[in-house]
Amino acid sequence: MNLKVVVVVVMAWMLALAQPASASVTVANEMRASTAVTKPGLELYRYGTGIPKVADFSGGTHDATVASGSSLELDLAGAFADWWDGDWQQRQCFDVTSADAESEYPLRFEVDTTSAVTTGADIRVVDDATGVLLRSYSEGSFPAVDSVVWAQAEPLLAGTSTYCVYFDNPLATTVSDEIGVFTYTTGQDVAHYTMSDRYYGGNGVNSRLTVVSYSNANTVSDGATTVVLNAGGTHTFSGLTEDSVITSTGPIDANYDRDGRETPIPEGYADSQFSFPTSRYVERFWVRSPHAVTTVEAVSDGVVIASVVVGPASGSVVLNAPGVGADPVSLRSTTGDEFVALHIGTNRQDSMIGVPWFGDMLYGVASNNLNLGALAPTTVSWVASNGSSNAADPVAIDSLNVVGGNGAFGNGRAYAVSGPDYFHAAQQADNDGTEVTSFLPRRLLGETFRTPISSRYFTIACPTAGTMIQINGGVAAPCTGVGVGHYYSGFGFQAAGTLIEADHPIFVYYEASGNRNEMNLLGPRSNLPHTTSVVNVAQPVEELSVCGSWTSPLLPVDGVFGQASAQFSTPTDTTVSLQISTDGSAFYGPDGTAATSFSDGDLVPYLADYASTAQLRIELCTDDGSATPAVDQFEIECNLVEPLVPVDNVVPVTVSSPDAGTSEPLFRVYQQSPGAWLGSVRYVGGTNLADSAITVWTDHFTSQISSSGGVVTDPSPTFSHLTAEPYTLSIKHKTAPGGSSTFDIAVVDIDGVRDEVGVSVTLVG
């Protein structure tokens, strides 16, 4: 029941029975007897009698706030000028420095989303300079300290640019577009180098390469023939040489239809070093350096066994590494420049592309063998889909470590392999061929794949066990396994252009139906254009929490303070802090510290009393870019009246009491002169108290006088009056009062047995 009552306070001086030994006490916020000089007593300051110091928002100092009519609000337009959309609560920005300018370039960000509830559907990437929303791909996992997000810079400028990844909006729907991020609307061509062995099978340059498109309106060319393919469309180019280059404006996959051939190598796979953990008779490599002249060395057991100078004008150059028998060979650039490489055994039954390492975990599926190789001695760890693992597998320089017995025809175990230093992994030799497929680093995995030519089976490794696999839009099936997931399609004809989709990034290889050759699928992200250097530096995660403040001019406030009067509104995700300072620096609330803020009716703490000047300060904050708190009124009462009345006069004081259950301050009490004396609040008498449940209390102690069912508790606890410890006497009625409930109390000096001041309270229901 929401009741209002009126408290009528009548103050009267009570004659002292004895003069206190050394006492003079002050009672705040009411009145002082005219006989106080000859009969030292209490000094009373009455609430509601002072001068209000009003917050005039048109003056003072504004910081990200504005005076809107008679209200104070946040300046949302200014405060969120650099925030893309206030519905997104967090962002992490990245400073990207590029040596080259690119018309379009996919950027990879590792975003700390641990402080948000997000599945990645709310990811948005914005060019911070232009405010343009970029095409993006939310790779996951979410939330995580390193959630991977790709976005296409449009354009990527030379120098440093800033891009911001926004997240933490549970109502947002996904715009993730893996294909779009690697599709170039401005006609940018991405190179894939064929680098095939032209001597294969004695057929000279008679090589056929089939290309499948991941995107619509994809312009694909071998330099002589140009076609436009839609998603899933294929085209076979003939007569390619080791110097042919396939260009496209969107992502493609491609494979040869002959045994021992591999995919063309995308320019994004360029690196300064490669390991090839395979061996077929004498090793042969095709190398190409598209952007700079460099010397490429072949290294076996730490010894350089061959080298060749290659540059942009050289095309693809053969590098033979004779006489190493079964030992694998690594390649490295002496200048650190990047090149691409293809391994082919002299029996022409193997081919294996060089794969950049990135320092990531490698994923793949083994057939009969899992081979490990390295440029320098290192130790790797692996876990297989059947739960087996090896926490420390040493790999010597260019040695060949073989883990056998996995199975044949793609139904072997999936593996996740990691190591602290450069290494590589491959599967070699199922039961019907002598092919090699390279394991791929986590960074190069994707969620969408298409087969360029028809297949007998395909096999998948899933970094996230339980990943759902869908073929041509059919019923989804899970990757199963412990530690790393595995999916195997089983034997069955699949036409060219078969679509393989997953809800998390995966690794895929397949066996061609025509030649039973196992080949990697590289996916859309293999279509990265080349740039000489891109450095990506993450800034701290920011939350959408903007605050502004207003500070009043200095206000004259000599005297004792009373109550605060405040009217404000705080929509969801907004806050208001109302504080005062009497020294111009430290602002505080009703407890005298910066930890609290004034609300309507709060008492100003005693430490502010008798200050000569004061300042009001308001801080407004919002976590919602479309909402601002508003303050319509903020006043502080000061210069309270200290009325002088004759001892025998009765001065009625009427105050408006809050609802039942809340306290109402009556007056503030000061001791006039030094010297402590013990005091108490004494019940004198009353009527109609049965329904009121009155409590009288001070901020020195509580429950001094209480009534319940007409029974009054008395005497009350004692307390010391000190000049340094003024206090406020308040009342609280716990229930609705009865008609004209009254009670009389007196603040008394226990030592002197003298009533100092009496109060008669009438509660009017």
| CB burial of residue 643 (10 Å; 0-12, 13-18, 19+) | middle
Contacts of 474 (CB under 8 A, 6+ apart): none
Please tell me if the domain spanning 5-49+642-764 has the same topology as the one spanning 51-78+545-638.
yes
CA dist list (Å): 294 to 299, 340, 352:
16, 12, 22
What values do phi and psi take at 606, rounded to 5? -60, -30
Q: Pick the residue with more confidence: 548 or 281?
A: 548
**51-78+545-638: in CATH 1.10.150.20:** no
What would the pLDDT profile of 22-57 be if each residue is shown by its tens digit?
222 222 233 333 333 333 556 778 788 889 999 999
What CA–CA distance (Å, rounded) separates 8 from 133?
Answer: 65
**Which pLDDT belongs to residue 29?**
30
**Which pLDDT belongs to residue 460?**
96
Contacts of 475 (CB under 8 A, 6+ apart): none
- The alpha carbon of 604 is separated from its chain's Cα centroid by a whole number of angstroms, namely 40
The β-bridge partners of 744 are: 685, 760
**What is the mean predicted confidence (pLDDT) over 189-198?**
78
**Which pLDDT belongs to residue 45?**
80
Considering the chain, what is the average pLDDT of its residues? 80
Three-state DSSP state, 85? coil
Name the region of 313 (left: φ>0; alpha: ψ -120 to 50; beta: rest): alpha
What CA–CA distance (Å, rounded) separates 372 from 735?
Answer: 82
**What is the mean predicted confidence (pLDDT) over 497-517?**
89
Fold of 5-49+642-764: Jelly Rolls (2.60.120)
CA dist list (Å): 160 to 125, 127, 133, 157, 163:
17, 12, 18, 7, 10
What CA–CA distance (Å, rounded) separates 246 from 260?
Answer: 20
What would the pLDDT profile of 547-590 be if each residue is shown by its tens digit?
999 999 999 998 899 999 999 999 998 999 999 999 877 999 99
- The alpha carbon of 567 is separated from its chain's Cα centroid by a whole number of angstroms, namely 34
Nearest-5° Cα angle at 632, 626 to 636: 135
What would the pLDDT profile of 403-427 be if each residue is shown by its tens digit?
665 777 788 899 999 999 999 999 8
Give alpha helix (H) positions in 8-141.
Answer: 76-79
For tokens 């009497």, name the residue: 582
Q: Pick the residue with more confidence: 601 or 748?
A: 601
**Which pLDDT belongs to residue 439?**
95
**Which pLDDT belongs to residue 22?**
28
Residue 35, number of CB atoms within 10 A of its CB? 15
Give alpha helix (H) positions in 8-49.
Answer: none
Contacts of 111 (CB under 8 A, 6+ apart): 92, 123, 146, 147, 148, 149, 165, 167, 538
pLDDT band at 474 (very low <50, low <70, confident <90, very high): very high
Please give, one letter per residue, the 3-state secondary structure of 734-763. CCCCCCCEEEEEEEEECCCCEEEEEEEEEE
Going through 233-377 in order, the beta strands assigned E by DSSP cover: 234-238, 245-248, 252-256, 265-266, 273-276, 283-288, 294-300, 303-310, 317-321, 329-333, 340-345, 352-353, 362-365, 369-374
What CA–CA distance (Å, rounded) separates 696 from 666?
Answer: 10
Lowest mean pLDDT among 529-538, 575-584, 601-610: 529-538
Domain ranges (residues) in the chain: 5-49+642-764, 51-78+545-638, 90-182, 190-256, 358-522
Strands 234-238 and 226-229: unpaired
Residue 438 clears pLDDT 50, i.e. is over it: yes
**Which pLDDT belongs to residue 649?**
33
pLDDT band at 200 (very low <50, low <70, confident <90, very high): very low
**What is the mean predicted confidence (pLDDT) over 283-288?**
87
Q: Pick the residue with more confidence: 6 or 128?
A: 128
Structure tokens belonging to residue 647? 């001892």
Three-state DSSP state, 442? helix
What would the pLDDT profile of 370-408 be if each residue is shown by its tens digit?
888 888 889 999 999 999 999 988 887 776 666 665 777
Residue 97 clears pLDDT 80, i.e. is over it: yes
Highest mean pLDDT of the ranges 47-51, 258-262, 416-420, 694-698? 416-420
**Which pLDDT belongs to residue 606?**
86
Contacts of 707 (CB under 8 A, 6+ apart): 686, 689, 692, 693, 694, 713, 743
Lowest mean pLDDT among 131-140, 512-521, 714-723: 714-723
Residue 221 clears pLDDT 70, i.e. is over it: yes
Residue 18 clears pLDDT 50, i.e. is over it: no
CB 46 within 8 A of CB 644: no
Of the chain, the percentage scoring pLDDT greater than 90 comes to 46
CB 190 within 8 A of CB 529: yes
Residue 206 clears pLDDT 60, i.e. is over it: no
CB 658 within 8 A of CB 47: no
**Which pLDDT belongs to residue 277?**
87
**Which pLDDT belongs to residue 117?**
87
What would the pLDDT profile of 310-333 be if each residue is shown by its tens digit?
999 999 998 887 755 567 889 999
Amino acid at 322: P
Residue 701 clears pLDDT 90, i.e. is over it: no
Residue 676, number of CB atoms within 10 A of its CB? 16
